[in-house]
A and B are shown apart, each in its own frame.
Chain A
Amino acid sequence: MNTLIRSENIVKSFGEGDEKRNVLDGVSLEINQGEFVAVMGPSGSGKSTLLYALSGMDNVDRGKVIFDGADLSSIKENELADLRRTKMGFIFQQPTLLKNLNILDNIILPSMRNGSKNGAQLTEKAKLLMENTGLAGLENRDITQASGGQLQRVGICRALMGNPKIIFGDEPTGALNSTSANEIMTILSQIHQSGVTILLVTHDVKVAAKTGRVLFILDGKIAGEYLPGDYDETRDNLKAREESLTTWLSEMKF
């Protein structure tokens, strides 16, 4: 399997002087193409910081992040922007949509960055994605006229517009009720099955149990790795995976 992301001993600290603290303290890892990986850990352990470092949204103080062959610390700001637009997709805990734009415009916005010539094609693609994620008919709604679950699906559609190699999710179900969270995870699983790599941060065992690999981070270091095995989407299989993951997590003192 090809390596999509490789981090080498990355360090990221916050604060000044006595209050300076390494939030990431020498993290080395690899994410392969086509993987579905969850990062777990207690609050303040560095989960989100790791996600932002691996996606190039934040600089690291030391170490290297290689994304699809490119060293993120040495490429220019604009190349990084291009990478985000063409190879990466992001889903955040809150919907992070622009309030001035309606739902459809929010979805097509990043893809329109290269010019509006193929606008009609992009609109078609967005509508198809909306249909697949249960958003059909909401195209011209303002973002204030949609529910949290719907908005999170809008975020997913936007992330998929550029045919990304990877989707980063920062607690994508964290602000949703269980029904909406399940719907989102189902969509993410489908996306993963279509060949897209997914790396998400979560504190929810039910979410992590649906992934192929779980990394546990503590005090800025990778403290452990858990492989739940193949997920066959049956209720029993899911239950068993959740239980074994919970057991492992308790061993990790989570």
Chain B
Amino acid sequence: MYSRLLRNDILKSKAITLTTMLFVAAAAMLVALAAILVVNLAGAIDTLMTQAKTPHFMQMHAGELDRARLAAFAEQNEMVADFQAVEFLNMDGAQFLFAAPGSAGRSLADSVQDNGFSVQSEKFDFLLDLDGNVITVLDGEIYIPIAYMQDGTATVGDTLTVAGKSFTIAGVLRDSQMQPLLSSSKRFLVSQNDFAALQQFGSMEYLIEFRLHDLENLGAFEAAYTAAGLESNGPTLTYALFRMFNGLSDGLMIAVILLISALVIAIAFLCIRFTLLAKIEDDYREIGVMKAIGLRVADIKKIYLTKYVAIAALGSLLGYGLSFVFRDVLLANIRLYMGESENASLAPLLGVASVALVFLAISAYVNSVLGQFRKISPAEAVRFGVSQEKSGGARRFRLSMNKLLGVNVFLGVKDVLARKSLYATMLAVLVLAAFIIIVPQNLHNTIASKSFITYMGVGDSDMRIDIQQTDHISEKAAEIATAMEYDPSISRFVVLTTQTFSVKLDDGSEERLKVELGDHSVFPLAYATGRAPTAENEIALSVLNASELGKTVGDSITLLINEREITLTVCGTYSDVTNGGKTAKAVFSDGSADTMWSVITAELTDPSLVDEKISEYAGKFAYAKVSDIDEFIQQTYGGTIKAIGKAAYAAVGVALALTVLITLLFMRMLVAKDRYAIAVMKAFGFTNSDIQAQYIARSGFVLSLGILLGTLLANILGEALAGAVIASFGAASFKFIVNPAFAYLLSPLLMAGVVLAATVFGTLDAGQIKISENIKE
């Protein structure tokens, strides 16, 4: 009996059944993909980091290196399993000239990455080929980072000329620590002989690397390293950070897929709820009769449950099948950068489990919606055929008291108020759609805006000059400052100098802290809490430092300056992606500690001069690295910003398509349900356009509520949600930068346009309803 009922019911409502099934399939597919990707990504990162033997602790250092002292430290420290100091020969991007056979060359002059050379490590931190093997490189050969193959800069077989010496690109390399875009350096692998030949053309940096017996001791080891006062002129990075960097871009993709699947599941649920409520309303009398003749609620439920279990089962199977079609495309990036995952075989299993979860969730949801049957009184249902539940609000809303609204608008609004639970579904879809339209746009707008970098530890300026790895940094900075002083095209600039001080911790131990000194009000950052330091006794900490030192705004911190203990008050915290995220800012001046590096940031009177100024300053001050802030953002985050921009437009399209689809289905279904009421109204002189106006009033009313709630939700919940995405860029706090014309004008207009069009189209049938056929006794 059930199968016959099922077949009849599906045949009667083909469109909505198919739509519901497709949403279930999409949800199942996305959840399965997310599960498969998570397993593969986690596994692949582990595999890569295991094969490459990534260091557990790494201190970058520019300047003199005391190998013997470091070796002695490693020898004496029981936590250390292995130690090495790898050379990294930093070279100006302009020195790299790629050329495919028979074509003009391209250089890395515009690259904001620190490009350099290394030889294969002996003990750990290996550079791997695409099969995961440690590369052995021959003289005259070079292996390049995967990213340069991915962006089309070069391909295997091309020639790379560096400082006049030609190399054949023998392959690409996987670098477990410098591979991610967020890592600012990129390693090229050459042979020992070639490395020696190149040495005179670049500046040497060292990667002081340790592997520990037990990764859990990392914190203690870090403290011991700092306490020993060893080389530390550069950022410090740890195993956990490498892991996070490696997972970031694919992790972001998985997060987006999960977010979309959550939305699609929500929509599938809404579709089901809507059709189910409508069906219950239609079958109200029959359900009452079934109860009256003694059928149990469970028996009646089974009739309805059968259909949705069938839809959920078919949809889930279809979705799981589809996940196989798309998974290879999505896995390609992970496979290329990190290789195969060791637990890849687990992925399909987990996929099945997650699809099963979707199936069970839908079945449970249908079951709970059908719980309404318990509330149906057989007497009432048989007598009136409609639910007697009516809200007080709708009852008080009377035509006889109405002075404001036209009768059609009144009837539309009244219908929405009287059948709240049915319209709640449409409202939820519209709220979701508004949310899907606005949040990605706001997110894109926020990260694409120039001021976004102020959330990441970089001031909003035009040009940045770094002076490091050289002598007499202060004098050189002063020299550039003087030049800028007399340069009419520089509107303002600031010299910030980074020095290292010892911090006295509460337990009496000491730790080294890099503090950037200077006027931080010229190009201010966005502070997560508090504000920039303005007084001599104030200090602002990066979020990472603040949490590590356990300090919040208002706390005191003791620095050892010139062998004297000076107490400073923490006045603010800020997010920072520069220098491993561990920085501090203060305004006091001190000549006692060595300057580690200086940064001069400047704003031009005419920003279009930036290229000209960069080459001017780079030419004049050969020891300085001059870069364009826009270019920096573009190269570091450009790809992501563009991807999010595309995704944001896609989201608008998807949300609008969804709105049209659901509104259309909803209206057609309402017209079908309301045939009798429409016939009655037509019998008493209401025209087709009156009827259509009533439906437009219904959608318009729900639409206005939907847009209002959706926009509110987008700005409150959306900001929090986008915050999670943005946090993965390294920004701890942020505020949406909203484009009001889009968020408050264009997006409501777009939604209103499609909803009204769908309503008009969906209610065309109302005009065809014949009074005699629907009213005749």
Contact = CB atoms under 8 A, between A and B. Distances in A.
B777 A112 contact: no
Contacts of A77: 687-688, 767
B415 interface: yes
A140 B682 CA distance: 24
B281 to A, nearest CB: 11
B771 A57 contact: yes
Contact of A102 (B398, B689, B771): B398
Interface in A103-158: 104-105, 108-110, 112-113, 115-116, 119, 122-123, 126, 139-140, 142, 144, 158
A96 B688 contact: no
B103 interface: no
A90 B684 contact: yes
Contacts of B82: none
A85 interface: yes
A248 interface: no
A94 B384 CA distance: 12
A98 B685 contact: no
B683 A100 contact: no
A174 B777 CA distance: 10
A154 to B, nearest CB: 13
Contacts of A126: 400
A61 to B, nearest CB: 13
Contacts of B775: 57, 92, 96
A144 B388 contact: yes
Interface stretch (B185-193, B402-410, B463-471, B551-559): B402-410
Contacts of A170: 776-777
B414 interface: yes
Nearest to A104: B400
Contact size range, B:
35 or more
A48 B777 CA distance: 8
Interface in A16-60: 48-49, 52, 57-58
A82 interface: yes
Contacts of B388: 144
A242 interface: no
B684 A84 contact: yes
A4 to B, nearest CB: 18
B148 interface: no
Given A96-B680, A102-B395, A113-B690, A82 B685 contact: yes
B215 interface: no
B407 A113 contact: yes
B772 interface: yes
B482 to A, nearest CB: 80
B544 to A, nearest CB: 60
A16 to B, nearest CB: 15
Contacts of A58: 770-772
Interface in A64-114: 77-78, 81-86, 90, 92-94, 96-102, 104-105, 108-110, 112-113
A42 B418 CA distance: 41
B738 interface: no
Contacts of A78: 687-689
Contacts of B411: 100, 109
Contacts of B680: 96-98
Contacts of A84: 682-685
B399 interface: yes
Interface string B364-404: 00000000000000000000101010100011001110110
Contacts of B777: 48, 92-94, 170-171, 174
Contacts of A110: 684-686
A112 B684 CA distance: 11
B677 interface: yes
A40 to B, nearest CB: 15
Task: Tell me which of B406, B407, B410, B415 has the highest count of chain A C-beta atoms within 10 A of its own C-beta.
Answer: B407
A119 B776 CA distance: 31
Task: Tell me which of A49, A99, A102, A158 has the highest count of chain B C-beta atoms within 10 A of its own C-beta.
Answer: A99
B398 A99 contact: no
Contacts of B406: 115-116
B390 A112 contact: no
Task: Tell me which of B406, B680, B689, B770 has the highest count of chain A C-beta atoms within 10 A of its own C-beta.
Answer: B680
A115 B400 CA distance: 12
Contacts of B690: 81, 113
A158 B775 CA distance: 16
A48 B398 contact: no
Contacts of B419: 100
Contacts of B681: 98, 109
Nearest to B414: A100
A144 B384 CA distance: 7
Given A96-B775, A108-B400, A116-B403, A101 B685 contact: no
Contacts of A97: 680
Contact of B414 (A57, A101, A116, A119): A101
Contacts of A96: 680, 683, 775
Contacts of B685: 81-86, 110, 113, 162
A105 B400 contact: yes
A87 B386 CA distance: 32
A82 B419 CA distance: 29
B376 to A, nearest CB: 15
Given A101-B414, A108-B400, A123-B400, A85 B684 contact: yes
A96 B684 CA distance: 10
A78 B690 CA distance: 10
A28 B544 CA distance: 95
Contacts of B415: 100
Given A77-B687, A81-B685, A81-B686, A116 B770 contact: no
Interface in B322-339: none
Interface string A157-188: 01000100000001100100000000000000
Contacts of A144: 384, 386, 388
Contacts of B684: 84-85, 90, 109-110, 158
B390 A140 contact: no
A119 B400 contact: yes
Contacts of B418: 100
Contacts of B683: 57, 84, 90, 96
Interface string B679-713: 01111111111100000000000000000000000
Task: Tell me which of B415, B688, B771 has the highest count of chain A C-beta atoms within 10 A of its own C-beta.
Answer: B771
Task: Tell me which of A52, A93, A122, A158 has the highest count of chain B C-beta atoms within 10 A of its own C-beta.
Answer: A52
Nearest to A171: B777
Contact of A99 (B386, B407, B682): B386
Interface string B754-777: 000000000000010011100111
Task: Tell me which of B390, B405, B767 has the highest count of chain A C-beta atoms within 10 A of its own C-beta.
Answer: B390
Contact of A101 (B384, B399, B767, B771): B399
Contacts of B399: 101, 104-105, 108-109, 112, 116
A144 B389 CA distance: 11
A104 B406 CA distance: 17
Contacts of A94: 777
User: Which 9 A-B residue pairs are closest in the complex by CB-CB distance?
Assistant: A85-B685, A105-B399, A110-B684, A58-B772, A93-B777, A84-B685, A81-B687, A112-B407, A52-B772
Given A92-B775, A126-B400, 20 more contacts: A52-B771, A77-B687, A78-B688, A81-B682, A81-B686, A81-B687, A81-B690, A84-B684, A85-B685, A96-B683, A109-B399, A109-B411, A110-B684, A110-B685, A110-B686, A113-B685, A115-B407, A123-B400, A144-B388, A170-B777
29 contacts: A48-B777, A52-B771, A52-B776, A78-B688, A81-B685, A81-B686, A81-B687, A82-B685, A83-B685, A84-B682, A93-B777, A94-B777, A98-B680, A100-B411, A100-B415, A100-B418, A105-B399, A108-B399, A110-B684, A112-B399, A112-B407, A113-B686, A116-B399, A116-B403, A116-B405, A116-B410, A144-B384, A158-B684, A162-B685
Interface of B: 384, 386, 388, 390, 394-395, 398-400, 402-403, 405-407, 410-411, 414-415, 418-419, 677, 680-690, 767, 770-772, 775-777
